[in-house]
Amino acid sequence: MRALCPILACVLLAACGKAPAPVTTETATGTAAAEGDPVEGLRVATRVGCNGCHAADGRGGGMDFTSPAGDRIVAPNLTERRERYDDAGLVALLREGRTHDGHRAFGMPIYMFQHLSDQEVRDITAWLRGLPSVANPGLAASTLSAATLKQIQDGTFPYDQDDRPDPGNRPPAMRPAGMLALGRHIALTSCGECHGRTLEGWGADDPAPSLVMVNKAYTPEKFARLMRTGEVAAGGTSKTGFMSETARRRYAHTLTDEEISALKHYLDSR
Ligand code: HEC
Ligand code: HEC
């Protein structure tokens, strides 16, 4: 969603809701659980943005954005849509973007979610199933303009590949343990929405820079400070405020110290 990302972020963040309680060591380092853990699910869902776009309580509308071309993209009410999915259906949605009726999940960063581990998907599923039902009668539906629909049909839609999964992607069963692999995992499942599929940015016209480049200005201490408080390396708030706000909403209360170190370690290796 290269074209949509900048404005999108602002919409999402505005509606992000309150952050979850800080994680305890048990949930952060939890080992192989056969069943999904809703507490861990909330932690992952917050980090990867489910409860930003779909609002903190899942009622939808955290993302409600109209593009200059007239496409309106609205994140639906999860507490209603979940009824249409069994657990395998949710796996197909998050990994392949396959919705319950086969329509395209336009606006969901599937290229990011495709990397979630089997266990993380089970945890997110447990969180999703545990949300109290909430009605949101005023919520609009996504509508694509005739021009965009035609472009999609013709295969000329310029951002067509941006939200699709990689062919043949093989997600891990469990979150990887080694520092480098863990850092890569956190980066690919958390940062790509705005910093691009390969973390090298979506292009010069996008406000989110290449992570590989900007990372060079960060010592491990400054990087940890950004993730925990939103303060950038040069001091103060990020240029547009998006990054500082994203860090405070999504990462400050969800990433463990180990995950932040691993993420930095991985970015340094690029
Ligand atoms: C960047 C915003 C964004 C993020 C992040 C996001 N979603 Fe969505 N989601 C959407 C939009 C937009 C739609 C509507 C897609 C459509 O139907 O065209 C959607 C649709 C859905 C649907 C309903 C699909 C259907 O059949 O109608 C489910 C379920 C869902 N998302 C779950 C999730 C989960 C779980 C996560 C986190 C892993 C997540 N979403 C993260 C934007 C987002
Ligand atoms: C919702 C969108 C979004 C997500 C998700 C996101 N970023 Fe950013 N990031 C931005 C934007 C936009 C900027 C440019 C600065 C600004 O305008 O806020 C940025 C800038 C940065 C910078 C440079 C800040 C500076 O000016 O020194 C770093 C470092 C960074 N991001 C790290 C990360 C990491 C690490 C992740 C994942 C854990 C991540 N970002 C996820 C939007 C995002």
Condensed to tens digits (0 to 9), the pLDDT of residues 195-253 reads 999 999 998 888 999 999 999 999 999 999 999 999 999 999 999 999 999 999 999 99
d(CA 202, CA 16): 23
| Predicted pLDDT of residue 3 | 41
How do residues 131-167 score in pLDDT, each as one tens digit?
999 999 999 999 999 999 999 889 898 877 777 899 8
d(CA 58, CA 50): 8
Confidence at 34, pLDDT banded by 50, 70, 90: low
For residue 4, pLDDT beyond 80? no
For residue 9, pLDDT beyond 80? no
Q: Ligand 2 centre from 208 Cα, in Å?
A: 6
From 8, 13, 51, 53, mutation site for ligand 1 pocket: most ligand atoms within 8 A of C-beta = 53
Mean pLDDT across the chain: 88
Average pLDDT over residues 10-38: 48
d(CA 88, CA 71): 30
Q: Ligand 2 centre from 141 Cα, in Å?
A: 29
Judged on CB neighbours under 10 Å (0-12, 13-18, 19+), 185 is: buried
| Predicted pLDDT of residue 28 | 40
For residue 116, pLDDT beyond 90? yes
d(CA 149, CA 151): 5
| Predicted pLDDT of residue 25 | 35
d(CA 57, CA 133): 9
Any ligand 2 atom below 6 A from CB of 242:
yes
Any ligand 1 atom below 6 A from CB of 113:
yes
